[in-house]
Chain A
Amino acid sequence: MSAKLLLVDDEPNILLSLDFLMRKNGFQVLLARNGTEAMQLLKEQTPDLVILDIMMPDVDGYQICQFIKGDEILQSTKVIFLSAKSKESDIAKGLELGADAYMTKPFANKALLEKVKELIS
């Protein structure tokens, strides 16, 4: 059974490209267009990995990551931050919160895919 991914981004076109990319590579995909949707989905589903934007107007990526890492059911869920924030302090903060990887936008499809595969295996 293929791994289930949750993709969270408030930019529709980024979400669209991520969705296409992941499905094309055989992953099951859940989409969230903002933080609120993501939290709702996480209460119902247990994705193997979450690709998480940070700067979102309602609930930001850090909060979602914190929720995942603090939730027992989501223990094995991996988190990749995918953000336009590229300052070292932002990256450090993300990793401190327990994220498994941090990638900056714009990203290379190949690199993202490799990271996803690496974390899931």
Chain B
Amino acid sequence: MNSFQFLAVFISISYLTILFLLAYFVEKKTTWKEYVKSSSSIYALSLAIYCTAWTFYGSIGSASKTGISFLPIYLGPTIMMPFWFLIVKKINRIAKAANITTFADFLSIRYSNSTNLGMFITFLMIVGIIPYISLQIKAISESFYLLMQINHQDLGFISSLNLPVIVTVIMGIFIVIFATQKMESTEHHSGIVASIAFESLFKLLAFLIAGIVICYFIFSSPTEIFQKISSTKEMSRFLTMPTNLSYMEWTGFTILSGIAVMILPRQFQVAVIENTKETHLKSAMWKFPLYLFLINLFVLPVALAGNIYLANFSGLNPDYYLLEIPLINQMKYIGLLVFLGGFSAATAMIAIETVALSNMLSNNFIIPLSLKFGEGSMRDTIAKRTLLLRRISVIIILLLTLIYFKSISPLYSLVSIGLISFVFIAQFFPALLGSLYLKQSNYRAVFGGVFVGFCVWLYTLVLPSIIEGTNWGQEILAQGLFGLAIFKPNALFGLTVFSPVMHSFFWSMFFNVSVYIFLSYSYKPSNYEKQQAHIYVDVFKYSNLDESHIVWKEFAALSDLKSLMMKFMGEEKTNITLNSFMKRFGISNEDEMTSDPRLIPFVERLLSKFVGTVSARILIESVIKEKDIFINEMIDIIQESKEVISLNRELTKKSNELKKAKSELEHINQQLRLHDQTKNEFLSTVSHELKSPLTSIRSLSEILTESEGLSEQEVSNFSSIINKESARITRLINQLLDLEKYDTGKETLVLSVVNLTEFFEDIQDALKAELSEKEIELNIQIDKKLNELIFDRDKLMQVFINLVGNSIKFSQNNTKVEILLSKIGETINMEIKDMGHGIDPLYHDLIFDRFFQAKDQTILKPKGSGLGLAISKKIIELHKGKIYVKTSSEKGTTFAIELPQIKNDER
């Protein structure tokens, strides 16, 4: 081993040590960690793990053969960046809310049968991605040997080293240390993120330096390269669009790459799981494409330069032009730099891809499987074993990678494996898109679509490559399955216009999407899926997806949930967490907490952090006692949430209206009751008033008919009482009928021009008997201006007879009653004055009520129905006037009537 070889090995080990130390200090030092989490540039750089060793070396190889056809792999992500932003933003929201740990988690928890779906996805991912990881190991090992063999030096003991194994073991240690320390797999692996960001930066710098050296030092300028190339006819085709690469193919590759940058497990890991801020996505929109632009800047010149060298050095591998050109030119340190750049690209990819796949393997495969089929004790010990299982998963993934590397990978070039993986990963895209935007999507559709796509991919892309590599089954490739030409793996249904990769992409996506859509609309989503669809599709409706949006209503004993939590978090942290839960939702005691519908989802999400969503669901289901039977209705309600909201608004409105109507009704009811009470009182008063004269009449007439020896005077006296009482009844009935007419508005005024002198003479005549009986003088004084007035003569006569009659009734003998008429403005004032004993001011208003006098009377009861004043008031009101007690004292009372003057033309 010479000094350069020694140096190269030493520097490689130092480089790895730097990565370890960087990761270590970021994890240890809070300030570093915070910086890594808050930097959007680090986020963008971590996305650059998209550029693996395949990019670093392979794109040059690809460009050397087909010119600019390598570009879509990088144009794709650039052009698709806006879509990437929209979709990843949505995924991010959901993932953060549900504590998603892997891509399999994300897709499977959306659907019923999530355990099986998660296992299915995990299995496929491992099958499809392991070759891609082993590709990196292949790149490391090949580039290392190229570097070591500079000037055909003897490899010495290096040849006895099993480099892939060493690299794999070191990566394994790195991952186990920095990715499986904490039980929470949602925890950000800031150390790893920092180191891969560093590696991204390093590989970019290495590529740029090597590119500059090749273009400006080995050649004088890129122009020289292009001139040399264009001089050879055979080479000039590289600069134009190759005819065998149609625009359709370009578009296809662009889309394919755009898809891959979203859902490759490592991309999902850094873009979603390791994302700390949503705003980072926005700046990544330009930072990541800028990175892609820079790293591709020298691809074409270097590829062409390599092709120029190829004319003289036939043993060159185009995949490694970037390394080989400096080495040929004895620039071994540039070569070392390039090697380290490729090494960076490879190790970063291995690290993240392994973390992502091992999380999938443990959270979506091993843990659910052991929970489902393991003994009951498995549930109790799963917490302790989580870390161990995750470490085992890392080892399994790396072991599979090594096995693949040893047995199969020698058959493929760098680019072909990368593209095969791209087509594979694209099979998940319809399901992903459907999960995010199609509420109809169900687990059968996802299973079906992915499975069919996967099979077509196997048949059209993997099978031909295996056949080419092994010489087995040539007839299938040449004649098609069962000799049917339409089943030719690389010309399915006679389609020959595409390259093999695009051909496979086209058919696999065609069948995948068709089956997916067909099944989506053939089967109804389950209730669980409806609920999840609601959360996934409408995630942006919720500014904050938390426990308050939970619709499941399940019951579990608090003690069971607690013991589950304690296994993962310890007793102290469990209590603290539950207390903060209680505080947050204002829950005061444990009983209330048990019945709170938010508790179980809360615990489930907590557990998701440790074992992923699928396993968390299994753990939760193991302690659930019952499910609420209203789930169906709940989901239906939620599904139509928009309608519900508007319905709610409507209901609130209705309920307010009802409330108002209710209070109105209560008011009316109260009035009715009052009215009813008044009516009852009125009726009982009326019946009393009618029964009183009837009683006298009956009793006296019985005396008249049954008693013997009545004196003549007695007979005439009794007869006259009977007459008077009969008249009283008649009067009462007439007055009641009058009142009824006034109340119902049936009574109208009969207006006429009345001579006042005559009118009052008539009144005097009518009351002659009463006046002379008490020797009362009626004094009438009419304003000289007043001569004639227009009013209802009969009705006003009734009023005056009633009022003057009352005055007489309550007056002492030998007193005076006065009537005064005057006119002020348009108002006629009428006053009736007596010298009676007065009316208590308390009763000045009440006396106009019906039967008032019958209800409340001083010692001696005067004659009268108790309706006279009530009727008088009605009559005056019908004339639009007022009647009231003007003054009242022990010396007498004055009643006043105010009438608006009625003009002749108003009649």
Taking beta carbons and an 8 Å cutoff, which residues of A are in contact with B?
A: 10-11, 13-14, 16-18, 20-21, 24, 33-34, 36, 55, 57-58, 84-85, 87, 105-110
Whether the pair A20, B703 counts as a contact (CB closer than 8 A) is: yes
Contacts of B718 in A (CB 8 A): 17
Could you list 18 further interchain pairs (A-B, Cβ under 8 angstroms) beyond the known A85-B684, A107-B695? A11-B695, A11-B696, A14-B699, A16-B696, A33-B860, A36-B859, A57-B854, A57-B855, A57-B861, A58-B859, A84-B687, A85-B688, A105-B695, A106-B694, A109-B699, A109-B702, A109-B703, A110-B706
Q: Give the docked Cα–Cα distance between A57 and B721 (Å).
A: 23
B707: interface (CB < 8 Å): yes
B698: interface (CB < 8 Å): yes
B691: interface (CB < 8 Å): yes
Contacts of B706 in A (CB 8 A): 109-110
Whether the pair B695, A10 counts as a contact (CB closer than 8 A) is: no
Contacts of A109 in B (CB 8 A): 699, 702-703, 706
Specify which of A20, A87, A110 lies most central, judged by the most chain B CB atoms within 10 Å of its CB: A20
Contact (A17, B699) CB under 8 Å given A10-B861, A105-B691, A109-B706: yes
Whether the pair B859, A106 counts as a contact (CB closer than 8 A) is: no
Q: Give the docked Cα–Cα distance between A36 and B33 (Å).
A: 103
Whether the pair A55, B700 counts as a contact (CB closer than 8 A) is: no
Contact (A106, B861) CB under 8 Å given A17-B699, A21-B703: no
Residues of chain B in range 693-748 having any CB-CB distance to chain A below 8 Å = 693-700, 702-703, 706-707, 714, 718, 721, 724-725
Whether the pair A34, B861 counts as a contact (CB closer than 8 A) is: yes
In order of increasing CB-CB distance, the 5 nearest A-B pairs are: A57-B857, A13-B696, A84-B691, A17-B699, A105-B695
B856: interface (CB < 8 Å): yes
The prevalent SS among residues of A at the interface is: loop
Q: Give the docked Cα–Cα distance between A42 and B455 (Å).
A: 119
- Residue on A nearest B722 in the bound complex, by CB: A13
Contact (A105, B692) CB under 8 Å given A13-B700, A13-B725, A21-B699: yes
Whether the pair B859, A13 counts as a contact (CB closer than 8 A) is: no
B858: interface (CB < 8 Å): yes
Contacts of A110 in B (CB 8 A): 702, 706
Contacts of B692 in A (CB 8 A): 11, 14, 84, 105
- Residue on B nearest A20 in the bound complex, by CB: B703
Contacts of B714 in A (CB 8 A): 20
Q: Give the docked Cα–Cα distance between A26 and B703 (Å).
A: 15
> Among A13, A18, A87, which residue has its beta carbon within 8 angstroms of that of B721?
A13
Contacts of B707 in A (CB 8 A): 24
> Among A10, A17, A108, which residue has its beta carbon within 8 angstroms of that of B696?
A17
Q: Give the docked Cα–Cα distance between A86 and B586 (Å).
A: 64
Contacts of A20 in B (CB 8 A): 703, 714
Q: List 6 A-B contacts (CB under 8 A).
A: A11-B696, A13-B696, A14-B699, A17-B718, A18-B699, A33-B860
Q: Number of B residues whose C-beta is below 8 Å from A? A: 30
Taking beta carbons and an 8 Å cutoff, which residues of B are in contact with A?
A: 684, 687-688, 691-700, 702-703, 706-707, 714, 718, 721, 724-725, 854-861
Contacts of B697 in A (CB 8 A): 106
> Among B691, B721, B855, B861, which residue has its beta carbon within 8 angstroms of that of A16?
B721
> Among B695, B855, B856, B860, which residue has its beta carbon within 8 angstroms of that of A34?
B860
Q: Give the docked Cα–Cα distance between A117 and B382 (Å).
A: 105
Q: Give the docked Cα–Cα distance between A58 and B692 (Å).
A: 17
Minimum Cβ distance to chain B for residue A72 (Å): 28
Contacts of B702 in A (CB 8 A): 108-110
Contacts of B725 in A (CB 8 A): 13
Whether the pair B688, A55 counts as a contact (CB closer than 8 A) is: yes
Q: Give the docked Cα–Cα distance between A17 and B695 (Å).
A: 9
Q: Give the docked Cα–Cα distance between A33 and B859 (Å).
A: 9
Contacts of B721 in A (CB 8 A): 13, 16
Contacts of A84 in B (CB 8 A): 687-688, 691-692, 695
Q: Give the docked Cα–Cα distance between A54 and B365 (Å).
A: 97
> Among B684, B694, B858, B859, which residue has its beta carbon within 8 angstroms of that of A105?
B694
Contacts of A10 in B (CB 8 A): 861
- Residue on A nearest B728 in the bound complex, by CB: A13
Q: Give the docked Cα–Cα distance between A16 and B696 (Å).
A: 8
Contacts of A33 in B (CB 8 A): 860
Contacts of B724 in A (CB 8 A): 13
Q: Give the docked Cα–Cα distance between A88 and B702 (Å).
A: 27
Q: Give the docked Cα–Cα distance between A107 and B694 (Å).
A: 9
Contacts of A58 in B (CB 8 A): 857-859
Contacts of A18 in B (CB 8 A): 699
Contacts of B861 in A (CB 8 A): 10-11, 34, 57
Contacts of A105 in B (CB 8 A): 691-692, 694-695
Contacts of A17 in B (CB 8 A): 696, 699-700, 703, 718
Specify which of A11, A84, A108 lies most central, judged by the most chain B CB atoms within 10 Å of its CB: A84
Q: Give the docked Cα–Cα distance between A9 and B846 (Å).
A: 25
Whether the pair B699, A106 counts as a contact (CB closer than 8 A) is: yes
- Residue on B nearest A82 in the bound complex, by CB: B695
Minimum Cβ distance to chain A for residue B120 (Å): 84
Minimum Cβ distance to chain B for residue A33 (Å): 7
Q: Give the docked Cα–Cα distance between A27 and B804 (Å).
A: 42
- Residue on A nearest B694 in the bound complex, by CB: A106
Q: Give the docked Cα–Cα distance between A103 and B848 (Å).
A: 33
Minimum Cβ distance to chain A for residue B672 (Å): 21
Contacts of A13 in B (CB 8 A): 693, 696, 700, 721, 724-725
Contacts of B698 in A (CB 8 A): 106-108
- Residue on B nearest A21 in the bound complex, by CB: B703
Q: Give the docked Cα–Cα distance between A109 and B860 (Å).
A: 26
Minimum Cβ distance to chain A for residue B707 (Å): 6
- Residue on B nearest A12 in the bound complex, by CB: B861
Contacts of B687 in A (CB 8 A): 84
- Residue on B nearest A25 in the bound complex, by CB: B707
Whether the pair A14, B695 counts as a contact (CB closer than 8 A) is: yes
Minimum Cβ distance to chain A for residue B850 (Å): 16
Minimum Cβ distance to chain A for residue B615 (Å): 77
Minimum Cβ distance to chain A for residue B630 (Å): 52
Contact (A57, B700) CB under 8 Å given A14-B695, A84-B691, A106-B695: no
Contacts of A108 in B (CB 8 A): 698, 702
Q: Give the docked Cα–Cα distance between A62 and B707 (Å).
A: 32
Q: Give the docked Cα–Cα distance between A12 and B684 (Å).
A: 20
Q: Give the docked Cα–Cα distance between A36 and B859 (Å).
A: 8
Q: Give the docked Cα–Cα distance between A87 and B694 (Å).
A: 18
- Residue on B nearest A36 in the bound complex, by CB: B859
Specify which of A17, A36, A105, A108 lies most central, judged by the most chain B CB atoms within 10 Å of its CB: A17
- Residue on A nearest B692 in the bound complex, by CB: A11
Q: Give the docked Cα–Cα distance between A64 and B350 (Å).
A: 112
Minimum Cβ distance to chain B for residue A55 (Å): 6
Minimum Cβ distance to chain A for residue B259 (Å): 90
Whether the pair A107, B860 counts as a contact (CB closer than 8 A) is: no
Specify which of B684, B692, B858 lies most central, judged by the most chain A CB atoms within 10 Å of its CB: B692
Q: Give the docked Cα–Cα distance between A80 and B371 (Å).
A: 95
